[in-house]
Structure 1
Amino acid sequence: MRSAEDILTELRALRAGDLPTHGGRTLAYVYDSGLDGVDDLAAAAHALASSANGLDPTAFPSLLRMENDLVAATSELVGGTPRTVGSVTSGGTESCVLAVLAAREGNSGVAEPNVVLPATAHAAFHKAAHLFRVRPVVVPVDPKTFRADPEAMAAAIDDDTVLVVASAPSYAHGVVDPIAEIAAAAASRGVRTHVDACIGGWVLPYFRRLGRAVPEFGFAVEGVTSVSVDLHKYAYCPKGTSVLLHADAELRRGHYFASADWPGYTMLNSTLQSTRSGGPLAAAWAVLHHIGDDGYLALAEATLEAVEAVRAEVEALDGLRLVAEPGATLLALTTDDDRLDLFVVADEMAARGWYVQPQFAHQSSPANLHLTITASNRGSEGDFAAALRDSVRAARAAGPVVVDEGIAAFLADLDPDALTSEEFGQLLAAAGMGGGAGLPERMAEVNAMLALARPALRERLLQEFLGLLYQPS
């Protein structure tokens, strides 16, 4: 038997190769409050409840109490009423998936249901549509503001529509959709509206209290029937905890599952999971109580100041601009300079210890770099700006990545449905993504090739690459 210390030493060594989760240098995937002691508290709370099982709330009433507390706190923040109910899920994707499931099941008489989505809606809704055989009706957004178009959304609703979706904010561009107009159009047709506030749900209400003009996006908006809010984002709780709220219990019922027609216990699930560790629930409950309302207001103020400072630095930098007017905490940076390759900029930032997330061009949205700003970025905006200036200078000196014309033509002609796994493996190897060695240190060349691939081909390439990564050693 290996000693605990030996195992933890190995784990620390493994973790050393990961992106940093604290300090504000990873501007995607992670949310850091920057507060001392929060991680230790969350870990201790997680340990106290990790062996408890949320599968049966009557067996573990502590988990029931904590879940109801989290739902109540989230509901209060987004304009819930005494009738508002909710469930704690494993993350934003599960919350969004369950919203689609509840809408489908709540309209069981619709033979071929569809969900109306702005083109900027999170990919989680496409995942839900795929899983539950609901047809996604994707509506173009305003090509300048990247906000959903209410008139186009209304026109897309038909007799088979079971749900309309809006974002507060959208992930790709960080803008808040015109939710009141969208919800009104849906309500006039008797259709539910879900607001994906996974990112903004916990921070936008505090921005409003700080004097920022933030439109209502929750249950104060007539016609909004469900809202998703991630606690592991701007509530700064450990992953993964999200809350899916419904305006009343009848609307929620469709994502519950029960099965009594077998010889075991009657299975009853409120989410997609059956067994659910009480650890994430307890950790979130502890963090919310520890930080408290005043603490979250202070964190929101620090975040807002960081957003404004980073924005000012970007706008002062020759060669970069914002894709859209930010409505929350997310910034998308692009360029009109043909000499500047954003994928190279991302590599140069990584070389300087900063992770920014490349996003491919899509319809009217240009290739861009995504930044998720959190409270921990306050105070380091100057360091970030200096690294960004140096990275832009280095990328401009290096010039754009050029993909061989033959390879570009080859990619344009590929049919992802016709290629075998072996052929995909050869293609991945040619792109520097094969051979079981993982990703190369610099990704610009890979991203330049992926950018030329149609979405369906890019999806298949990355699925095959994922399959190569997840191989037992």
Structure 2
Amino acid sequence: MLEALPEKGVPGEQILAELRELRAADLPTHGGRLFAYVYDPALDGLDELARQAHAISAHVNGLDPTAFPSLLAMENALVGAAARLLGGDEETRGSVTSGGTESLILAVKAARDSRPELATPRLVIPSTAHAAFAKAAHYLRVALDVVPVGDDLRADPAATRAAITADTVLVAASAPSYAHGVVDPIPELAAIAAERGVRFHVDACFGGWVLPYLRRLGADLPAFDFGVPGVTSISVDLHKYAYAPKGVSLLLHRDEALRRPQYFAYAGWPGYTMINPVISSTRSGGPIAAAVATLRHIGDAGYLELAQQTRAAVATLAEAVRQTDGVRLFAPPETTVVCLSTSRHARDGFEAGDDSTSRAAGDGFEAGVDLFVLADELAARGWHTQPQMAYGEMPATIHLTVTAAVAATVGEFALDLADAVAAARAKGPADLPAPLLEAAAALTPEMVTPELIAGLADGLGLGGGDFTRMAAVNSLLNVAPPPLREALLTGFLSLLQRPAPPTE
């Protein structure tokens, strides 16, 4: 057990050895085998450069840029680079945040506070928009209007137009959506918002740093940046495809007037006047310095090459899915995501402009492959993917975030995918005891208690902290209604996030 406050201090080398031992239990952040959470360019020396840059500014406080002008210079440099990449000009303004969620919360705040006369400001998003928008709406007391997407998984302009009311302060869309990696029709949506006098935000947190390079490489992607009339703000994460360490994101506004409501200022107390452009007050300069070092080291030409490697890896992965009976592409692999479904979790009639993605369930899938068992089989072979639960008429899917590092391992994955599918087919669906399913069917969110969660964790084999076989857990969550799923996962995370009892 790790003791954070020992009676006597511990030598530094022992502490570092203990931390390395803890890290050994984590999923691999490098090597092209983790398809979520981390972004690896596989560039020698980049990690060490970023660590050294982080150390230079780790103890600098971003609370007051007049005290630490180095951070002001670095933040302005990052914003300027992103503005140029994303079609901005000398009027573009921006802020450095801790991540995409903070950027989206601030985009919603700026829109809400620009209309202080509204009692119930509203936010319109497609159902595929990132969950951070729902978090922003919840935190900021903004009503959330979720619009269904079309069969192509993209935001529906007509439905979006119908959802806008006099109380709408912001319309948002994705470039691309995280779950499926497709780009919403930004020009049409931005025009609709502008026509109604409403701000329009492009959530490019996930792909905003790579889409411009993919377009330069010839990818047929719609315009999405400040070159599109009506786009008023854009978010882009530098710790994704800019390959900077966590956590650095940017929120850009077309001009200063649009950014102004983002700020919080308060002078009604006897201390210093608080003025914050972002949610945090005190902020370490370490991540900002590491991001500057990363961008300067890779450079524009380097990012173009990384995008080319990523694009090639996506194409190879997609072809592997097409050639493997039992799985199929659920969405067109047009950006940096490969999203696949299986015979047991496919929906009929999806069209992606490719015959291999439009096969109906049952056409060549007689034996059936359980998607969650497949995810476990891939993990057993060293490939860590991200299962996504069913939503509405959308089936459960497996999400693969593809980075430049995957270019070196994609051939191995293609072989292991076929092997994992065969193993999953042989095993059949995840085994969920009938009594457990019956009990779960009777549950409501209000019935979820710490005792119930502890019992479920033990019954599903999670009591000992082994998360390597998750098919049964995911299958149970997949059939639970979203409110119950939220309650179950909240309870489970709360179960994990507790200190161990002291030893005698």
TM-score bin, normalised by smaller chain: over 0.9
Given candidates 78, 94, 110, the residue that maps to 1:86 is 94
Question: Are 2:453 and 1:446 aligned?
Answer: no
Contact 2:327 2:340 in 1 (8 A): yes
Offset from partner CA, 1:17-54 (integer Å, 9 cap, x none):
10000011000001000000100000000000000000
Q: Which amino acid aligns with 2:338?
A: L
Equivalent in the alignment of 1:193: 200
Unpaired runs of 5+ residues, structure 1, are: none
- Mapped to 2, the partners of 1:140 and 1:383 lie a distance apart of 37
Q: For 1:39-50, list aligned pairs within 5 A.
A: 39-50=47-58
Aligned residues: 470
Aligned match of 1:244: 251
With the length of structure 2 as denominator, give the TM-score of the two structures: 0.91
Which residue does the alignment assign to 2:77? 69
| One of 161, 181, 199 as aligned partner of 1:154 | 161
Tell me the equivalent position of 1:136: 144
Q: Distance in 2 between matches of 1:139 and 1:469?
A: 34
Partner amino acid, structure 2, of 1:175:
V
Gaps of 5+ in 2: 1-8, 344-364
Match for residue 349 of structure 1 among 374, 378, 402: 378
Distance, in Å, in 1 between the alignment partners of 2:189 and 2:176 is 14
Distance in 1 (CA, whole Å) between partners of 2:405 and 2:189 is 34
Output the CA distance in 1 between the equivalents of 2:369 and 2:169: 44
Q: What are the Cα deviations for residues 408-450 of structure 1, in whole angstroms up to 9, with x where unaligned?
A: 33322211124433334333433334x4x32443101111111
Greater mean deviation of Cα atoms: 39-48 or 459-468: 459-468
CA distance in 1, matches of 2:466, 2:480: 18
Deviates more, 1:330-339 or 1:180-189: 330-339
Of 329-338 and 371-380, more deviation after overlay is shown by 329-338
| TM-score, reference length from structure 1 | 0.97
Q: Equivalents in 2 of 1:325, 1:309: separation in Å?
A: 13
1:257 is displaced (CA, Å) by: 0.9
Question: Which of 203, 211, 215 is matched with 1:208 structurally?
Answer: 215
Residue number in structure 2 paired with 1:377: 406
Q: Is the 8 A contact 1:431 1:449 kept in 2?
A: no
Amino acid at match of 1:342: L
> What CA distance in whole angstroms lies between the structure 1 residues aligned with 2:465 and 2:110?
39
Give the match for residue 273 of structure 1. 280
Identity of aligned residues (%): 59
Distance 2:149 2:467 in 1: 35
Cα shift at 1:235: 0.4
SS at match of 1:397: helix
> 1:122 and 2:130 equivalent?
yes
Aligned residues of 2:314 and 2:333 also touching (Cα < 8 A)? no
What does residue 233 of structure 1 align with?
A: 240
Amino acid at match of 2:167: D
In 2, distance between residues paired with 1:258 and 1:432? 50
Separation (CA, whole Å) in 1 of partners of 2:452 and 2:29: 37
2:428 corresponds to which of 393, 399, 422: 399
Alignment partners' CA distance in 2, 1:407 and 1:472: 29
Q: Is the 8 A contact 2:370 2:430 kept in 1?
A: yes
CA RMSD of superposed structures (Å):
1.2
Asked if the contact 2:450/2:495 (under 8 Å) is kept, the reply is no
Distance in 2 between residues matched to 1:431 and 1:395, nearest whole Å: 19
Q: Deviations over 1:155-176 (max 9, x none)?
A: 1000111111100000111100
Match of 2:112 in 1: 104
Identify which of 304, 316, 328 aligns with 2:335: 328
Per-residue deviation, residues 84-118 of structure 1 (Å, max 9, x unmatched): 10001001111111101111011111110110010
Q: Could you report, residue by residue, the CA deviation over 1:240-292 in whole angstroms, capped at 9, with x for unpaired residues?
A: 00000011111112221111111111111111101000000000001101110
Equivalent of 1:295 in 275, 290, 302 = 302
Q: Could you report, residue by residue, the CA deviation over 1:280-310 in whole angstroms, capped at 9, with x for unpaired residues?
A: 0000001101110111111111111111111
Matched, 1:367 2:392: no
Q: Which residue number corresponds to residue 462 of structure 1?
A: 489
How far did residue 186 of structure 1 move?
0.8
Q: Provide the C-alpha distance between the structure 1 equivalents of 2:449 and 2:24, rounded to a whole number of angstroms.
A: 36
The alignment partner of 1:378 has SS state of helix
CA contact (8 A) 1:408 1:452 kept: no
Residue 151 (structure 1) shift:
0.5
> In 2, Cα distance between the equivalents of 1:354 and 1:298?
24
Partner AA of 2:84 in structure 1: E
CA deviation digits over 1:123-181, x for unaligned, max 9? Answer: 00000000001111000001x31011111011100011111110000011110000111
**Which deviates more, 63-72 or 3-12?**
3-12
CA distance in 2: counterparts of 1:184 and 1:439, whole angstroms: 50
Name the residue aligned to 1:16: 24
The CA distance in 1 between the partners of 2:22 and 2:113, in whole Å, is 44
Query: Contact between 2:449 and 2:491, CA under 8 Å: does it hold in 1?
Result: no
Q: Residue 174 of structure 1: SS of its match in structure 2?
A: coil
CA distance in structure 1 between the aligned counterparts of 2:163 and 2:334, rounded to whole angstroms: 25
Query: Residues 115 and 134 of structure 1 are in contact (CA less than 8 Å); yes or no, is this contact kept in structure 2?
Result: yes
The answer to whether the aligner puts 1:54 opposite 2:62 as a matched pair is yes
After TM superposition, give the deviation of residue 185 of structure 1 in Å: 0.7
More deviation, 330-339/88-97: 330-339
Q: Distance in 2 between matches of 1:160 and 1:136?
A: 11
* 1:311 maps onto 2:311 in alignment: no
Distance 1:175 1:264 in 2: 48
Moved more, 229-238 or 325-334: 325-334
- Contact 2:448/2:487 (<8 A) preserved: no
